[in-house]
Amino acid sequence: MARRKKIYEGKAKILYEGPEPGTIVQYFKDDATAFNAQKKDVIEGKGVLNNRLSEFFMTGLNNIGVPTHFIKRLNMREQLVRACEIIPLEVIVRNYAAGSLSKRLGIEEGTALPRPIVEYCYKDDKLGDPMVTEEHIAAFGWASQQDMDDVLALALRVNDFLSGVMMAVGIKLVDFKIEIGRVYEGDFQRLVVADEISPDSCRLWDMETGQHLDKDVFRRDLGSLTDAYTEVARRLGVMPKNATQITKPTLIN
Ligand code: UDP
C-alpha cells in the first residue's frame, strides 16, 4: 500500500498531501494539550467529535457565503480541505471576558463586553503566541492592510454566525480563535477561514447553568472533555449520543 505524504504534524491534527493538487487531508488526533503543551493527554474520541463539529461549522459558514477551506469530510477522523497559506496569526474574537483577557485586564470572567473585541496573536509556540497589534503585523509584513480589513470582516461574520448557532441550542459563545489562510486563484488571492472550528478553540458556556462545554474542561480539570464535546454535538444534532464509543462486535441472531 502506498504511504501518503505527511506535510505537517501539529498538537491536535496531522496534515497529509491530498488526492489532488491544492488539496490537503486534515486528520484529527485525540491528543489534547494546554498551556503551550505543558499539559497533555489523550482523550479518546475527541478527534472524531472535532472532525464532525468543524465540518458542521465550516459547512454552515460556506452556506452563508463566508469562504472556508473546507471541502468535505472523508471519514470519522479526516476531512478534505483546500491547501492554503496560513497567515501566522491567531485571530481571537471575544463577546464576554474570560481567560487571558480577564487576567490581563482584571475583568471578571463572564462580564459581557460592550462590543466584540478582536485580538491578534503571533503564531509561534516558542514565544508562547504573543499578542500583537496591527502595527506589528504591518511592520513585519505578516499581512497587508487589505488582508487585515478582510480578516476583521471575516472574524466578525464568523462571530455572528457562531453566536447565533450556539444561542439556538442554549449555549453562550464567550470567545473563539480562528486562523485565516490565503488561497490563490490565478492572479488573485482570496482569504478563507482555515484550520478548525471546534470546542478546542472556542469557549462555550451553557446559558442556564454556566457549565463549561469546551477545552477549559481539560485546562481546568472540570470533568470529562468527551462528555462536554458530545453534549455540544448532541445539541447541534451533529452526532447521536455515544457515537464515539467503541463497541464490541455483537452477535446478530
Ligand atoms: N485559543 C486557542 N488557541 C490558542 C489560544 C487561544 O484556540 O493557542 C482560544 C481559546 O480556546 C479561547 C480563545 O482562543 O476560546 C481565547 O483564549 P485566551 O486568550 O483567553 O487564552 P487562554 O485563556 O486559553 O490561555
pLDDT at 156: 98
Determine which residue's CA is closest to atom 11 belonging to ligand 1: 201
pLDDT means over runs of 10, the chain (253 residues): 88 97 98 95 98 98 98 98 98 98 98 98 97 98 98 98 98 98 94 98 98 98 98 91 57 63
Cβ contacts of 142 within 8 Å, gap of 6 or more: 87, 88, 89, 122, 136
What are the pocket residues of ligand 1 if the criterion is a CB atom closer than 6 Å to any ligand atom? 90, 92, 98-101, 129, 175-177, 201-203, 215
* Phi-psi sector, 223: left (phi>0), alpha (psi -120 to 50), beta: left
pLDDT at 239: 77
Report how far ligand 1's centroid is from the alpha carbon of 17 (Å).
28
User: What span, in angstroms and rounded, lies between the C-alpha atoms of 78 and 28?
Assistant: 6
Give the position, in ligand 1's atom list, of the atom nearest the Cα of 219. Answer: 24
Domains (range + CATH), the chain: 85-206 (3.30.470.20)
